[in-house]
Every structure is written in C-alpha cells, then in structure tokens.
A = this chain, B = another copy of it.
Amino acid sequence: MNHRGILIVLSGFSGAGKGTLVKALMDQYDNYALSISATTRQPREGEEDGKAYFFKKVEEFQQMIDEGAFIEYAKYVQNYYGTPRAYVEEMLEAGKDVILEIEIQGALKVKEKYPDALFLFVTTPDADTLKNRLTGRGTETEEVIASRLARAGEEAEGIGSYDYLIINDDLDEAVREAHEIIQGEHFRVSRKTAFIEVMKEDLKRFSKGE
C-alpha cells in the first residue's frame, strides 16, 4: 500500500521528553522519517551535512527563503534555522510519516502551509512534574527557573492549536500512544478520499449490472 505519509508536527514543554520520545519512535518503528533542518550556524566537530542539519551559507539560506524553499524558518541569535520543504516532501511521497520537532511559533507557520499535518503536543502528566524537571538538580538560579516556568506557561497557551496531547508519564506508554494516534490518523476519512472515490465508482458500475 503505497500511500503518502503524514506530516507530524511535534512540540511540547521543554523538559517533557520530546527528544527521547522522537528517538524511541524512530528506533521502534520503521515508518518514520525525521525532518532535517537547514542552518547557517557552523558545523560542530564531527557533525556531517545532512545528518542533524543541512549546513548552508547565509547567501544560500537567503536564496532558499526567496525561492520559498522553506516550510518555515526563523533567526535565533545570529543564525538562521529552517525546514526545507523538498526533503519533507520527498519523504512524504515515499510513504514515510515525517516528524517535525519544532517550537510552537514555528508550528503555527507550518499549519498555514500544511493544514492536514497532525499536531502533537508532549506534556508531563502534571505541572508539578514539569516544575521538578525544569528546576533541575538545584544548580539553577531562581531567576532561570522562574523564566523557564514563565515560558512553559506561554507554551501552554498554545496547546489549543494542537490535535492531540501525548502525556509522557511512562515513556513506553507515551511512545505507544503517539504511534497509535499517528497510525489511526491514516484511516481518517479525509485522508482516504481516493479509496472512497474508487469504492463509489465501482458500486455505481455494479448496481448498473456492469
């Protein structure tokens, strides 16, 4: 069954375990591909082009912006980061469910261009757990902790734009839950229009006795 994959936009609270969840999904199932960002920052030692990032010169990145080659992009500090559309499209066409791990702001931009993307938000089972994770091992200043909590509060305001919550209490359970949600999504009627059209046409022929 060679169907187009689903674009999965995955966000969540810092400290909710997004990275671990994504890694586990990639390790345990073979239907996923990870979107690779492009960046203008310098590769660190041992970083290969096309693995964690596509490394671009500022002019190259600027040209890609001009060509509309990004699903979304943003500038952090002095460097650009963006999601190249070509790689995502290639993987979707190959039938892979493509995971795009991204902040809420970027996620909203993706929604404009891919309204049929599946939006998942990863959270701890409650705010106390999140607070404990953000507080760390007691090595952070009160100021840092307060700013992390304020940020989590802002992130929480954006949850309404997502489709499903992934509650990461037990990792294995969260991974299974995320996988089930994504697999179920393939059977959504709005994603099965081709199947339904063929069914209708065939039934029309049959009932005419053809």
Chain A residues close to B by CB (< 8 Å): 121, 123, 126-128, 130-131, 146, 149-150, 152-153, 156-157, 159-160, 162-167, 177, 180-181, 183-185, 187-189, 192, 195-196, 198-200, 202-204, 206-207, 209
Contact = CB atoms under 8 A, between A and B. Distances in A.
A135 B59 CA distance: 66
Nearest to A142: B209
A110 B171 CA distance: 37
B203 A189 contact: no
A126 B199 contact: yes
Given A156-B200, A184-B181, A184-B184, A195 B165 contact: yes
B177 A189 contact: no
Contacts of A165: 187-189, 192, 195-196
24 contacts: A121-B189, A127-B202, A127-B203, A128-B202, A146-B209, A150-B207, A152-B207, A153-B200, A153-B203, A153-B207, A156-B199, A159-B199, A160-B189, A160-B196, A162-B189, A163-B188, A163-B189, A164-B187, A164-B188, A165-B187, A167-B187, A180-B183, A181-B184, A184-B185
A166 to B, nearest CB: 7
Contact of A127 (B156, B188, B189, B198): B198
